[in-house]
Chains A and B, each alone.
Chain A
Amino acid sequence: MTEILSFNQVSFSYTPDSPEHRKAVQNVSFSINEGEWIAIVGHNGSGKSTMVKLVSGLLFPQEGEIRVMRNVLTEENLWETRSNIGMVFQNPDNQFVGATVQDDVAFALENSGVPYKEMVERVHASLAQVKMDKFLNHEPHHLSGGQKQRVAIAGALAMRPKLLILDEATSMLDPQGREEVLKTVRALREETGLTVLSITHDVEEALFADRVLFMNDGKKYAEGTPSEIFALGDKLVEFGLELPFAMRMTKLFQENGVLLAGQHMTEEELVNDLWASNFNK
């Protein structure tokens, strides 16, 4: 397995001169291999966003090292690294640079000097991948939030990145738009085996990940599969995260004396268990 990204004992403080302040990121280590989907969850101020800035080279760590494609991220290879990473940010409006959909998708390609003919091919191909190819000449204010985020994904894909980072990409969308974007990312992973790092406080989004990193106060609190992480149950609630809907329902059922086999990650599992629990009576 090829390693795409790794953090090795990374620490970062916004106020390095005054050590009494808590560091934004403290001693964080983890790695992502090719084809994985990793979710970083945590409440506001847990250091998630700082980690994104560290990966994209907007900030540099004071301690430890970050490796992208096995190369240590430095100011020298910054631009090369950025061309390997595609990012989608939180606000769909504030990352739309081009005047139309196709101009926006081409923006990163223009920046890296891709010749015109290849640009056109890549723009069309990546818009087809997110199923926005019918909107080539649409202007951003005629698109929904979900559509704009899909265009942003296409813009990242056009660069053929090794890693796609979703920085709270669904948090400003309505439920429909969120479903739209997540479906697109899942389909992309099935087709191309893209590596995804999603930063989120939406637990339902984290359920799709292969591994979940749970951040609290700048430290990595836990790491594991979604079921391992959500088995922490009350600990998560204590740190300001919500449990997935199905798990909350299970808990309420159990408190009210309905016999259920155990923890359920998805609604489907819960419904199946509810059927069975009635038979067992």
Chain B
Amino acid sequence: MMEKMIFGRYIPGDSFVHRLDPRSKLVFVFAFILVVFLANNIVTYAFLLAFTLLVILMSRIRLYFLINGLKPVMILLVFTFLIHILFTREGDIVFELGFFKVYEEGLRQGIFISIRFLVLVFMTSILTLTTSPISITDGIEVLLNPLKKVKMPVHELALMMSIALRFIPTLMDETDKIMKAQMARGSDLSAGPIKERVKAVVPLLVPLFVSAFKRAEDLATAMEVRGYRGGEGRTRYRQLKWDWRDTISLVALVVMTALLVFYRN
């Protein structure tokens, strides 16, 4: 099940989108989320859909893979579509079957909302699929830098995030080990009523927490000995490079926005 899930997963690659600077990607996606709400007729929604397909094409991530990985989200999409069809009662009746009536406005709204939803999910997935978590962290750190003026600990937050990301696989392994150790002692995590199963999780969490704290302490010592003194006077090993690709993609977004403003009702 985890294999198919692509939420928050990173797929290494060398496409145009992969090579973009995380800063431009982040700005692009956040701006795009706002721009989506400008669309309000067939032409503008068609623009949005075409634009998203173009981005997917450029990221060289197969559309089938994307749709297959986002199945749980698709169910939600179908659900909202049906709600719109059933409950919006405006315009002419397009289709009638006994007391079940589909109105024109309902169909229109349903399709529009679905496209909006689809486009948003695709874009944000493309962001996480083509950017490694650590680059996203770097991007966020640089973009939040101005907030340092209002005493926001930007560097510390970014470091915390990157360490958390780095320890996810380590703690996953650990969980697996503890689970096996408890199973070897006769604890059954997969059967019985829900109450029993929740109870069985406790002997799993306690050792995990204990060891996580131990790790944190060791890590703090190691960091201190290696000269960590907070963000001041620190240089960066991972450099972000803004190049023509980034400028082009932001220009493309601006053009897109202009088109939407021009063609919307």
Contacts and interface: CB of A to CB of B under 8 A. Distances in A.
A67 to B, nearest CB: 18
B197 interface: no
Given A99-B162, A115-B235, A123-B237, A140 B170 contact: yes
Given A91-B218, A97-B219, A99-B165, A110 B237 contact: yes
Interface residues of B, number: 30
Interface in A62-99: 79, 82-83, 85, 87, 89, 91, 93-99
A39 B129 CA distance: 49
A2 interface: no
Interface stretch (B24-32, B47-55, B223-231): B223-231
Contacts, number: 90
B238 A103 contact: yes
A95 B237 contact: no
A211 to B, nearest CB: 24
Contact of A94 (B132, B222, B228, B235): B222
B237 A89 contact: no
A112 interface: yes
A79 B170 CA distance: 30
A114 B235 contact: yes
B134 interface: yes
A277 to B, nearest CB: 48
Interface of B: 132-134, 162-163, 165-166, 169-170, 173, 214-215, 218-219, 221-229, 233-239
Given A82-B226, A114-B235, A139-B169, 8 more contacts: A58-B224, A87-B222, A87-B225, A93-B215, A95-B218, A98-B166, A113-B233, A123-B237
17 contacts: A58-B225, A82-B226, A82-B227, A83-B227, A89-B222, A93-B170, A94-B215, A95-B218, A97-B219, A97-B223, A99-B134, A107-B226, A107-B228, A109-B237, A110-B234, A113-B233, A119-B235
